[in-house]
Amino acid sequence: MKSVENSAKLRLKESLVNKALLEMRKTSKADTLIGVCQAIRAEGTISDTHIGLLEASFGAERVQKALEALKESRIKKYVFQPSKRIVWIVVGKERDYLVMPLIDYCSCDDFYYQFDHGHVCYHIIAQKLAEATDQFDLYEDEDKLYDVLIQEWKTIPDEPQPSKKKKLEQTEQADAEDTV
Ligand SMILES: [Zn+2]
């Protein structure tokens, strides 16, 4: 089983990270993310220790993708007025992803198909890092635009993206989707 190999790798990495932060890893991965982000906010920077701890929980690839999104300013926070509803968007290569941090939700396929396993996709990590470091673009919009934008961000085929396939032939099917 791969999971046995993986946990051995994780243990190796853990020995490299700061002991105080390591304490947090005893709880769930989601709590690790929250704990690391609190440390990042308190220290005012993302250190190698923080990155090491995140990588031990989520794998280097996912963490690096999150850091890349942060570096490329691909995280946006929308605040709708007067309700003050908040929506976070992570701009991906092919589309935008809707992230709701309070419920750790993301609109990506990766999240959708791994949901039962408590999956944390790189968009969720990126959003939390952005919030902890105040590195995001802030937009304010009127409430009347909320439904329009949510609909736009959600208008995505639920099936796995045939990324390089022509999308045209699927347009008709997409139109038939429920629009509630
Ligand atoms: Zn995602």
Residue 88: alpha-carbon gap to chain centroid: 10
Q: Separation of 172 CA from ligand 1 center, angstroms?
A: 26
CB 47 within 8 A of CB 18: no
Distance CA 147, CA 144 (A): 7
pLDDT one digit per residue (tens) for the chain, 180 residues: 556 677 766 665 665 555 555 444 435 788 889 999 999 999 999 999 999 999 999 999 999 999 999 999 999 999 999 999 999 999 998 899 999 988 888 989 887 776 555 578 999 999 999 999 999 999 999 999 898 888 887 765 555 544 444 444 444 444 444 444
What are the boundaries of each domain within the chain?
Answer: 2-156
Q: Separation of 100 CA from ligand 1 center, angstroms?
A: 10
Q: Separation of 66 CA from ligand 1 center, angstroms?
A: 10
The token pair that represents 134 in the structure block: 């105040």
Q: Separation of 167 CA from ligand 1 center, angstroms?
A: 21
Q: Separation of 127 CA from ligand 1 center, angstroms?
A: 10
